Structure 1
Amino acid sequence: MTTLFPPGFLWGAATSAHQVEGGNVNSDWWRFEHEPASGVHVSSGDGIDHLHRYREDFDLLASLGHTAHRLSVEWARIEPAPGEFSAAALAHYRRVLAALRERGLRSFVTLHHFTLPAWFADRGGWLAPDALTVFERYCARVVAALGDLADFVCTINEPQMVALHGYLEGYHPPGIAHAGHWKRVGRVLLEAHHRAVAATRAHADAAPGLVVQLPVLAPAREDAVTRRYRDELRAEIVDLYLDDLRPGDGGDWLGVQYYRKNWVDPASPTIFVPPPRGFATSQMGWAVYPEGLREVLGRAARTGLPLYVTENGIATEDDTERIDYLESHLGAVLRAIGDGVDVRGYLHWSAFDNFEWAEGYRPKFGLVAVDHAAGFRRQPKPSAYAFQRVAESGDLSRLRAAGVTTV
């Protein structure tokens, strides 16, 4: 098998506003973090102060061989009250995107990455009767203001996980466990994606696309009931979205996000059960299964859309595990390309160790460590240099090359 990626392949990493910026006090997530009953015991606080350090962060990523970067703009900052748009927030994000362009980094700009303005959540969030109209208004305003500086527009981050975590499992806002709401929200978010595509096309030349998390789902037992339950979950988490997407009204590209293989069990109160013996797991308890990335890329290719891996990574304190993970999962991407799948880029999750939602700051996904006690000092890990060698050469065999690149 070749170790070479196609010419023009994009390399980079991803962040989201709430996880890195800090001080997102007008969002539903900030409020959720501070509710004792939510089970989230750590505040996002100052994040990693990316709100003020984005230029030096982009300098660092560019020096590490990145040619693209995925980030989100924060709805709660841009529209702090219904219909009230902040000129200062939009000007800030114009500076952010201009800084990416000045450093030669292609931008993937996510319009909605998990967080909602608190006022939108209070009106019912995605269950509100006017949710789609309000979201479409927000998208149109953002794309009109920022679209000339965006290369790719990511409409909604992981709509299946917004629905699953917030409305069925209940450990993300709004903390609901209701099967009917889960399914309804999933369909609302799919329509919201289409509205965002239309808004992008009307106001900018940037290429719109959806980004979906595609886990590999397996039955915990090989009986008919468990297999049927797995099939039902796959229909809601994977097929609902992919079967709806086609070139044109579905967008110009599709972002694939992959982390794990999940075993599902109808008898489990949490839907999922731990992996069988023999599987390596991350700090999140997720099973490491590299071949799954090749599988989900093959499934996503059936949409007919060009693909980008917009998130993939491992939570671990052991950076040698991260290097192993990069090698195995980039190998899976190469095998998918060898299968004829049109994959055009890979964005690692994440650029920096950051706030990981209900898990707080404990999981370490980043290529770059952040020392909060030392003024948010950034320190690239050995994995960042391993990734740099691949990004700059386009050759996976360079991952473990002798010598260490320094910044």
Structure 2
Amino acid sequence: MGGALPLGDPAPSDGLLPASAAVGASARDFGVYLHVPFCRVRCGYCDFNTYTATELRGASQHDYAGQAISEVEAAGRILERSGVPDREAATVFFGGGTPTLLPADDLVRMLRAVRSTWGLAPGAEVTTEANPDSVDAAYLGRLAESGFTRVSFGMQSAVPSVLATLERTHDPERVPLVVQWAREAGLDVSLDLIYGTPGETLANWRTSVEHAIRQAPSHISAYSLIVEEGTKLARQIRRGELAPVDDDVQAEFYELADDLLTEAGYGWYEVSNWATDDTHRSRHNLAYWRSQDWWGVGPGAHSHIGGVRWWNVKHPSAYGDRIRAGDSPAAGRETLDTATQEMERVLLLTRIREGIPIDSLGALGRREVAGLIADQLIDARAALSGSIELTRRGRLLADAVVRRLLAD
């Protein structure tokens, strides 16, 4: 949800999709993403489509749940009128921003709208992101009793100096508390970590990973810090106030995390994600990587149905205006051509542990397989079984692997 909106064709005000979006839809999973664009403070590294109270320009957090519900209800009508067959939502994900800045009842109302519009598939995964300082036991209990199944806490680090550089506001000692409350409520728990913060040492990173492991979540994500242009952190680095971490050190952080997580019984299933077993993988994120269908609700949210991709207006004020007028909030869209869909298929599936079938690659891509094995970028045994599976070295150089597989 970060950066400028992509280029594309203008989206029609009624939001109707071309007939191609319906082709094969019954064979694809359907998910719903609900973007909550509010944050108490803006972290210096963040370029997501989020807004603090002083940046809302007349938009109101109080009104937001009702606006999102209106989009959900309109989405149901649009898909029906576009000939897309009815499908229950297999996954629902509340992201942001900080969804849990809204009252728990607002999130519950939004989930209720998803359920009444599409239904939830049996065993549906329903996740919300949360900051450790934005929830308490009662809040998490309310979510769990209303159908949420999972919470993803933005822990980021267990080291106060690293959190301060990232401008995260929570006390690391609160993480065990919120994990305990979530577990008592019956929610699965994921912890998100970030490595490569300026000034962070390998010992700092070890402390954070080990602290996360001690909480025994079912899922841990570890993301390399990306310094995005236009952020406060980028300006601090450009002025020499902070020193960036170089690529070799980033690789050391990743290797340490993989070692510690593997020793603790976690298995990698995507380049930046580990789970205790297959049942605790993030099914919503897997749907993205597998190019399934999803409707994105909220300012700046992106959607994808059958090779048609679109994105909403970015600012909550403009979003609210569209919703009140009864217009689609979509700002632009594109229909992906065959070449683009193939490129994205290879790019995304290669990141997953199961990888991509070798016989689905182009001729030149298939010819690269032997060299990728020789360079220790893909697993030889998996290749003999007919699929691409990245080695750890391959995970660190995943973009280079993809370029070679797309040699056609």
TM-score by length of 2: 0.41
Higher Cα Rg, which structure: 2
TM-score by length of 1: 0.41
